[in-house]
Structure 1
């Protein structure tokens, strides 16, 4: 019994608590800014979903969908983690319990981020949207955001190397 009590004490309380906030900004389809009590702003990365980047096809559509759903509205959220940029990763709920990440996936504006989620229901929602050719799934060659970001990094690296080769050639 003492062991269970100790484990609960060590477990982050933030995982149990829901926070209420007003959405005051939409950075992209999967990142929002909320206003907390005391006029404190906090950036939230939506859990379990990855939306197209701004420069990707459907990036603007994903941002607009998220905005239509929650901008200027009261939401509740549960922080689940921090991402590598220090943003809080959170499950966001609105309209009496709608889960924003699930709504984005169902509407075809985001991928189930299976690398960071164990919720197979989101995968089923993605498959349904894909089968029905909803949102980004109208594009037969849709590229996942993680593959798009990887390609962008590789292109940038290639350009840097090419510049170095050109500089070296001029000096020779």
Structure 2
């Protein structure tokens, strides 16, 4: 009986610590429209790549607007993160939330980012279609200027 109690207590503490680890972040700076550097009370900075979205690259049309919107949405707000996985560059892949609202969703809804081409999220695809139909953000650009980032990166590979 005592062993079960100790195990339950340890499990509770691990889950409580894990939950606390997800909250209380703040913005250090925005790198681009789909990644930001965050920090916490411990002072260790880390990069977060917004899950399921892909924003215009630095030299693409609408890149500065996308970056500025992400900065506006995150700056000065207490942030929480959903997601623990890392990408091949070591960035944490997550949904960033402010007051329980998904910043990832807001970026796609506003037309500041595309739903990532490999995303399995039907919600993200629907939000993108809604932004496209309404002509919001990058969807207001002439079609010739709306090259999705994954194709743009392929045609502008670093040497």
Shorter-chain TM-score tier: 0.7 to 0.9
**What's the C-alpha RMSD, in Å, of the aligned pairs?**
1.7
Query: SS of 2:83's equivalent?
Result: strand
Are 1:112 and 2:112 counterparts?
no
What stretches of structure 2 of length at least 5 have no aligned partner?
A: 1-10
User: 1:47 maps to which residue?
Assistant: 51
> TM-score under structure 1 normalisation?
0.76
Q: 1:87-98 maps to which residues of 2 (within 5 A)?
A: 87-94=91-98, 96-98=99-101
Output the CA distance in 1 between the equivalents of 2:46 and 2:62.
Answer: 25
Aligned length: 140
The unaligned stretches of length 5 or more in structure 1 are: 1-8, 158-172
Higher strand share: 1
In 2, distance between residues paired with 1:120 and 1:56?
Answer: 26
Distance in 1 (CA, whole Å) between partners of 2:111 and 2:84 is 24
- Partner of 2:90, secondary structure, is coil
Select which of 103, 106, 129 maps to 1:103: 106
| Contact 1:80-1:91 at 8 Å conserved across structures | no
TM-score by length of 2: 0.82
Q: Which residue is equivalent to 1:86?
A: 90
Give structure 1 regions of 4+ aligned residues with deviation exceeding 6 angstroms.
Answer: none
**Worse overlay, 99-108 or 135-144:** 135-144
Larger Rg over CA atoms: 1
